[in-house]
Structure 1
């Protein structure tokens, strides 16, 4: 005769609550997606919209679709987790998970991003973007000083032209854009 198994649909016993939460840790992602969906929907539905300049698709449409999608994904993921579905453990691509984090690279990247954020207004997007691209390449290990600055400048100017000129999204040009 075998021992009776606990009812999986019933609530976990007091001693097994921690174990149950550990086994269903993906529910934390569900809660995060739910909160984000509620936030997006609340913001979209309370948005003050000028109805005189509205086209066939108003400014509320995309946030409502995104917020609703987040709620649906949160619910589907919660159902999957509660039915026993589990995400695969991260194996890394070719990363040795027993090695410590490379804090030098993380700090270099953080410094590059901060520097670009500080420089974007006074120096303009093309200069700040070029320094961002070049600094990120350096932080991630590229030491090609002959080509990296050139690639960074082309990427930055291309991004500036695409957003500022083609898409009409104004970016700060800085002092160099007055010369060009």
Structure 2
């Protein structure tokens, strides 16, 4: 005697679970747009683009992506299942790396007001590279210093976003 099993009936929401991401994108888009529209217009404006432009663009794009994704899901589109990586899920977390990264970020937060962004940023970039496994004692600090100074010049001089310069402020 054979037993006949009923085919598993899946619910409509389970088959369209990507709509949850659409809902999240809509909520984020509306939040960004409402916050952007509440930005006071008496901000000092540098150049032709005001402080509302980028948040309004980001919020609108979030809503557009949510609508396009919802349309795709409702038309039968499905996300690809994860192909998997060579990750052993039973392996313990690498807390040493996490703690080293946290230490680099905390050092940056503590030092940025004292020594300025170029020096604290170099410590942050070098600390992150070290925590993630790079051990070149000549290349890493030089790249970190170069990247930090480049970032400082771009933000401070080109974009007009003042960063604390510390003792290097007179140089740039």
- The two structures share one fold, judged by TM-score above 0.5: yes
- In the alignment, the residues of structure 2 paired with residue 25 and residue 113 of structure 1 have an alpha-carbon distance, to the nearest angstrom, of 36
- In the alignment, the residues of structure 1 paired with residue 148 and residue 21 of structure 2 have an alpha-carbon distance, to the nearest angstrom, of 35
Q: Which residue of 1 aligns with 2:88?
A: 98
Q: Which residue of 2 aligns with 1:152?
A: 144
Given candidates 60, 63, 72, the residue that maps to 1:80 is: 72
* Structure 2: stretches of 5+ with no match in the other structure: 1-6
Q: Deviations over 1:62-108 (max 9, x none)?
A: 3323212211211221222233322223336xx41334343332332
Q: Which residue of 1 aligns with 2:3?
A: none
Q: Which residue of 2 aligns with 1:123?
A: 115
Are 1:170 and 2:165 counterparts?
no
Give the 3 Å change call, closer, same or farther, for CA 33–154 of structure 1 in structure 2.
same
Paired residues in the alignment total 163
- In the alignment, the residues of structure 2 paired with residue 60 and residue 73 of structure 1 have an alpha-carbon distance, to the nearest angstrom, of 20
- In the alignment, the residues of structure 2 paired with residue 134 and residue 63 of structure 1 have an alpha-carbon distance, to the nearest angstrom, of 32
- TM-score, length basis structure 2: 0.77
1:104-143 matches, within 5 Å, as: 104-143=96-135
Give the 3 Å change call, closer, same or farther, for CA 111–32 of structure 1 in structure 2.
farther
Query: Residue 143 of structure 1: SS of its match in structure 2?
Result: coil
RMSD: 3.0
Shift of 1:130: 0.5
- In the alignment, the residues of structure 1 paired with residue 144 and residue 46 of structure 2 have an alpha-carbon distance, to the nearest angstrom, of 39
Q: Which residue of 2 aligns with 1:10?
A: none
Shift of 1:35: 0.8
Give the 3 Å change call, closer, same or farther, for CA 21–47 of structure 1 in structure 2.
same
- In the alignment, the residues of structure 2 paired with residue 81 and residue 120 of structure 1 have an alpha-carbon distance, to the nearest angstrom, of 46
